[in-house]
Every structure is written in C-alpha cells, then in structure tokens.
Amino acid sequence: MKEIFTGIFKEGSKLFTLNKTAGKRVYGEELIQRNNKEYREWVPTRSKLAAAVLNGIKKIPINSDSKILYLGAASGTTVSHISDICTKGIIYAVEFSPRVIKNLNNLSKNRENIIPILANARIIKEISLLTSNINLIYQDIAQKDQVEILIRNANAFLKKEAFALLSLKAKSISSTDKVSEIYKKETEKLKKEFEIIEQMELDPYEKDHLFLVLKKK
C-alpha cells in the first residue's frame, strides 16, 4: 500500500483511503485490512476525483486540515473519501436536492467533518452564513452555467492563490457542440479568474468530462 497523495493510497491498480469509520461502507465499496488498518476502495467510476488520480493527475491540493466547500455533493460518495483524507479539516457539502441531502445527513452522523448544507450553489448568501475560512472549492455540478457558478463562489470564498477543483461536464453545457470546442470555450472563461495548473479528460471512467486543478488569481 503506497501513499501517493496526502491520505490517498494505491495498491496495484486500485485506489484506497483510510476508513474514518472502520467497518462501515458508504456505497458498497471493498474494505481491506493492511497493517492493522482498514482501507476503503475508491472506485473511479463512482468518483471523478478518483478517476483523475488514476489517470495520472499530478497535484491534488487536499490536506488533512483542508476546509473545503464542496458544490454538488450528491449522495456523498466522493465526499466520504475526502472525509477520510481531511481528518483535521471540514467539508461543507452543498446539495440542492432535499431528497439527496438525506443521504448526506446520514453520512455526517458518523463523520463529524462533514457539514451538509441544503442550498442552491448559485445563491452565495445561502452558503455564506454557514461556512467559514474556506481554502479550497471542489465542484461537481451538471448545469449549463457550471463555470459561472464556480467563478461566483470562488470570488466570494477564495483568497488569492487558493485552489479549486472542477469536474467540467461538457454535455451539460451543450448537447450539440463538439466536446473539444466546449472545453476550449469554458477554459477561456476560467483563465480570467484562475491559473489552470492542470487539466485532463476522465476517459475511460467518465465520458466527456474534463477535470481541472485551478489556482485563484
């Protein structure tokens, strides 16, 4: 078991995080024991961040004490693995769906570093009253204006040279334009507010997705 990033481990072709809640699974993932420690498999077809790591991304700016604003937390698959990594940090997990937020609420009962927030990521004031000292934004939102949502939140919450991680979903922006043209157009928008540290496509795990590591200008 080799640690390849803070709190992210690899054995063979599989990724793992050290299970914060030993004995408990979140989405049916494999649990394995190594040196009296329990690890959870991080499945790349269930998490864009895991897909990016397996595709060879070089920088993951998540540390044990990171304070993360996670936009588009869904049912908490990726959130749970970040929770394993951020043992001294906190994840403000924003989700718009009242039905889905129930899963996040259940997850947070055993993981005190997850704070579920039922809010619209487009409306900053719904989030700002419930968060503090953010040093990273992670966004996974399937909306046409996903880049604009990130920029708006970054301008509200991130200091200069803080990081953002974005899973860009091309077909949510346009179902008819060429994916390469969508990537070009959207990255040009991002360059006005961020330095693009790294970008990569997520095939074969996710089709028509671009993962970006960004630094606030």
- Name the pLDDT band for 130 (thresholds 50, 70, 90): confident
Please determine, for residue 145, whether its predicted confidence score (pLDDT) is greater than 80.
yes
CB–CB of 205/165 below 8 Å? no
- Name the pLDDT band for 128 (thresholds 50, 70, 90): confident
pTM of the entire predicted model: 0.95
Would you state the pLDDT for residue 107? 95
Name the token pair of 22: 């030993």
| 63 Cβ neighbours under 8 A, 6+ residues apart | 6, 85, 86, 89
pLDDT digits (tens, 9 = 90+) for 146-192: 999 999 999 999 999 999 999 999 999 999 999 999 999 999 999 99
CB–CB of 72/141 below 8 Å? yes
Would you state the pLDDT for residue 131? 82
Residue in this structure with the two tokens 């961040």, named with its chain if needed: 49
CATH assignment of 45-216? 3.40.50.150
CB–CB of 118/127 below 8 Å? no
Average pLDDT on 111-116 reads 96
- Name the pLDDT band for 54 (thresholds 50, 70, 90): very high
Would you state the pLDDT for residue 197? 98
Would you state the pLDDT for residue 129? 74
The closest alpha carbon to 107, from 131, 143, 83, belongs to: 83
Alpha-carbon distance of 164 to 162, in angstroms, equals 7
- On average, the pLDDT of the chain sits at 96
pLDDT digits (tens, 9 = 90+) for 4-46: 999 999 999 999 999 999 999 999 999 999 999 999 999 999 9
The closest alpha carbon to 65, from 38, 39, 91, belongs to: 91
What does the domain layout of the chain look like in residue ranges? Answer: 45-216
Would you state the pLDDT for residue 126? 85
